[in-house]
């Protein structure tokens, strides 16, 4: 199946009260594990690519071509969107050119008027090619790929103004943080989430920093309009943990255990298992 825009899958998720996972990719193993997890659970899926990961994988065209070829080779039939995560203005344009099916333009660090103007331009360009767009209001806390957010809570009025531009889904800070949550984290702000959903008139909302949020909060966020949940750190942690165990057990020193296909296999399997778990938690299994 060819890559699809994320618009339709997220509108269906919103209507059906579940969420589609965006799982960030870093390399071939990550991509393969996530695609296989989605296929096995019969779930739509969004592959997220940060600008840093795009560079690491030798550019957006390399990524788009790899993902398309892998979908074909693995016989993936569930809907897959390839999405730029936290894109700059230039990055979003580059991904639209490179064959991504969805982009995020994150203008949350600009003065609001400038965020609106730039969002408008990306939305027009992407929509002219059938590509979906996510924008952001109110920076998400924590650090991701060197980008540090302040952890603000978004202003529902600003969310309404961006929704009116025709954006397909919206990321809005509600106390969520990228990376590991600190022990003294206050939790998600559901009052603000409800206000944002009311002010955006049922637009699918995006929850960034999905790693480590307790299941009851995930479920409540979905019930209040979250239709896309981004997970990155947890995949990295389970990959590192499984790889460390393999090496600490001395398996790389046994026979051909140093072969990268063997060395990376436990980490890859751990990502697949985690993604299957998340898909079931978000309720998108059997929704392909
Ligand atoms: P985590 O790394 O906290 O899972 O957040 C991922 C994310 O929001 C990507 O945009």
Q: Is residue 288 part of a domain?
A: no
**How many angstroms separate the CA atoms of 265 and 261, rounded?**
6
Q: Is residue 259 part of a domain?
A: yes
Cα of 137 vs centre of ligand 1, distance in Å, is: 16
Alpha-carbon distances of 21 from 88, 126, 229, 257, 284, rounded to whole Å: 22, 21, 5, 33, 8
Proportion of the chain above pLDDT 70, given as a percent:
96
Angle ∠(115,120,126) on CA atoms, nearest 5: 120
Give the tens place of pLDDT for each residue, 87-128.
999 999 999 999 999 999 999 999 999 999 999 999 999 999
**For ligand 1, what atom is nearest to the CA of residue 86?**
10
**For ligand 1, what atom is nearest to the CA of residue 235?**
4
What is the reported pTM?
0.96
Alpha carbon nearest to ligand 1 atom 5, residue: 209
Cα of 207 vs centre of ligand 1, distance in Å, is: 9
Alpha carbon nearest to ligand 1 atom 1, residue: 209
Tell me, using a 6 A CB cutoff, whether residue 232 lines ligand 1. Answer: yes
Cα of 10 vs centre of ligand 1, distance in Å, is: 18
**Residue among 279, 268, 5 nearest 123 (CA):** 5
Give the tens place of pLDDT for each residue, 164-219.
999 999 999 999 999 998 888 889 999 999 999 999 999 999 999 999 999 999 99
Q: Is residue 188 part of a domain?
A: yes
Q: Is residue 250 part of a domain?
A: yes
Residue 27: domain span:
7-282
**How many angstroms separate the CA atoms of 94 and 55, rounded?**
12
Q: How crowded is residue 109: how many other Cβ atoms within 10 Å of its Cβ?
A: 14
Residue 146 has pLDDT above 60, yes or no: no
Tell me, using a 6 A CB cutoff, whether residue 176 lines ligand 1. Answer: no
| pLDDT for res 264 | 98
Q: Is residue 2 part of a domain?
A: no
**Active-site residue, 85 included:** yes
Residue 43 has pLDDT above 80, yes or no: yes
Tell me, using a 6 A CB cutoff, whether residue 210 lines ligand 1. Answer: yes
Number of separate domains in the chain: 1
Q: Is residue 287 part of a domain?
A: no
Q: Is residue 1 part of a domain?
A: no
Alpha-carbon distances of 71 from 26, 75, 90, rounded to whole Å: 16, 6, 27
234: domain CATH number is 3.20.20.70
Tell me, using a 6 A CB cutoff, whether residue 228 lines ligand 1. Answer: no
Q: Is residue 50 part of a domain?
A: yes
Rg (CA), the chain: 18
């Amino acid at each position: 199946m060819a890559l699809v825009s994320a618009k339709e899958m997220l509108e269906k998720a919103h209507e059906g009260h579940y969420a589609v996972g965006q799982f960030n990719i870093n390399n071939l193993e990550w991509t393969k594990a996530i695609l296989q997890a989605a296929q096995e659970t019969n779930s739509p899926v969004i592959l997220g690519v940060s600008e840093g990961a795009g560079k690491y994988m030798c550019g957006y065209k390399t990524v788009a071509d790899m993902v398309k070829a892998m979908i074909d080779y693995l016989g993936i039939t569930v809907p897959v969107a390839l999405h730029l995560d936290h894109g700059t203005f230039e990055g979003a344009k580059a991904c639209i050119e490179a064959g991504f099916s969805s982009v995020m333009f994150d203008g949350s660090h600009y003065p609001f008027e400038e965020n609106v103007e730039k969002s408008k331009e990306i939305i027009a360009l992407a929509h002219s090619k059938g590509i979906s767009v996510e924008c952001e209001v109110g920076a998400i806390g924590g650090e991701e790929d060197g980008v540090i957010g302040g952890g603000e809570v978004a202003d529902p009025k600003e969310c309404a103004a961006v929704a009116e531009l025709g954006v397909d889904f919206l990321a809005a800070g509600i106390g969520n943080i990228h990376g590991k949550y600190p022990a003294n984290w206050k939790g998600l702000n559901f009052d603000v989430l409800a206000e944002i959903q009311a002010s955006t008139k049922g637009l699918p909302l995006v929850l960034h920093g999905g790693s480590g949020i307790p299941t009851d909060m995930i479920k409540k966020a979905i019930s209040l309009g979250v239709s896309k949940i981004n997970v990155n750190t947890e995949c990295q942690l389970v990959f590192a943990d499984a790889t460390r165990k393999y090496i600490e057990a001395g398996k790389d020193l046994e026979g051909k255990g140093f072969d990268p296909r063997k060395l990376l296999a436990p980490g890859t399997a751990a990502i697949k298992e985690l993604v299957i778990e998340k898909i079931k938690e978000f309720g998108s299994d059997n929704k392909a």
